[in-house]
Structure 1
Amino acid sequence: MDLDELRAVTAYAVTCAEPALIRFERHRPGDPRARLALEAAREFAGGGPRTKAIRDAAWAAQRAYGEARDAGQRAASEAARSAVAAASAAYLHPIAKATQVWHILGAAAHAAYAAELDGEPAPPPLAPSPAVVAVLRRYPPAPAGRGRAGELLRELDRRLRP
């Protein structure tokens, strides 16, 4: 996998996570961690270097997920997970394992689940570029498990494969 493909996957993940960021900030005003994760991923997708700052921002957003979950703010927690997934897309591994599909489509799945938890219909998934679909097809189908977000991930994965 080349850097352009990795940037395309990350750009797609960021675009999918952006609606969830609005949801996260509505439920957890003043918590910048999900936004910072998306900003770090967006910078990489736009041509910046893949640095430790992306990973650090993803871990911070992961902590925001846990805090929102523990506070009973399920929609906010899934929205934070969408930001985590977007930042994690920059670290997609070329090893053809089904779990890597989470790096490609996880932001979309968590964003859709966050919308459902907020009582809204899941937005239609954004159409990925041909480059993102080509990368996805190098991996086995999405793995089983991980609850409703996993169901949404597998549904999107099935739609994008021939």
Structure 2
Amino acid sequence: MTLDSGDHAALALWAAACAERVLPLFARDRPDDGRPAAAVAAARAWARGELTMPEAREAAFAAHDAARETNDAAAYAARSAGHAAATAHVAGHARHAANYAVKAVQVDSSEGSDERAWQEAQVPGRLIRVVFPDRGLSERGR
């Protein structure tokens, strides 16, 4: 599927929302490290046209650096944020932001199915095949 700039921005916003939900798992472990939160903000700023792709990509690299400095749920949360920002560079990173968010929740609570359901409910219907190719069309009637 070829994405137009609006769809690409929508994916970045969705990826940012997925990552933002697990940021508290990173903050709990590293409360003074704002790199993952900055990456989520960068994804949103890029989607609004307020940040360039290279700037968003730098924020993604910083969040991934933060992930390497911690473990478990915190690391997955930081990776989710990094992939959200990296969506500005390549739209396919949105899928990784969602997957890492689910991993963060699973590691933290041994659950995650509710997180995936929330993600599926939030993604714009026209883009569900982009981020969940194995799901096909949603039963939500989108």
What TM-score do you get using the length of structure 1 for normalisation? 0.73
Q: What's the C-alpha RMSD, in Å, of the aligned pairs?
A: 1.9
- Partner Cα distance (1:31, 1:113) in 2: 20
- Partner Cα distance (2:76, 2:51) in 1: 27
What TM-score do you get using the length of structure 2 for normalisation? 0.82
3-state SS of paired residue (1:48) = coil
- 1:112 pairs, out of 80, 102, 109, with 102
- Partner Cα distance (1:21, 1:157) in 2: 26
Instruction: Give the corresponding residue for 1:87.
Output: 85
- Partner Cα distance (2:35, 2:66) in 1: 7
Ranges in structure 1 where 5+ consecutive residues have no aligned partner: 94-99, 138-155
Stretch deviating more after TM superposition (8-17 or 39-48):
39-48
Counterparts in 2 of 1:130 and 1:50: CA distance versus 1, 3 Å? farther
Question: C-alpha offsets along residues 123-151 of structure 1, whole Å, 9 cap, x if unaligned?
Answer: 234221023236x18xxxxxxxxxxxxxx
Amino acid in structure 2 at the alignment position of 1:105: R
Does structure 2 retain, via aligned residues, the 8 Å contact 1:11–1:42?
Answer: yes
Instruction: Give the corresponding residue for 1:131.
Output: 126
Count the aligned residue pairs.
130
3-state SS of paired residue (2:84) = helix
Instruction: Give the corresponding residue for 1:28.
Output: 30
Moved over 4 A (4+): none
Counterparts in 2 of 1:64 and 1:49: CA distance versus 1, 3 Å? closer
- Partner Cα distance (2:108, 2:126) in 1: 32
Amino acid in structure 2 at the alignment position of 1:91: H
- Partner Cα distance (2:52, 2:72) in 1: 30
Instruction: Give the corresponding residue for 2:65.
Output: 63
Percent identical residues: 34
Ranges in structure 2 where 5+ consecutive residues have no aligned partner: 138-142
Amino acid in structure 2 at the alignment position of 1:13: A
TM-aligned CA deviation for residue 158 of structure 1: 1.7
Mapping of residues 96-111 of structure 1, within 5 Å: 100=92, 103-111=93-101
- 2:76 pairs, out of 75, 78, 101, with 78
Instruction: Give the corresponding residue for 2:140.
Output: none
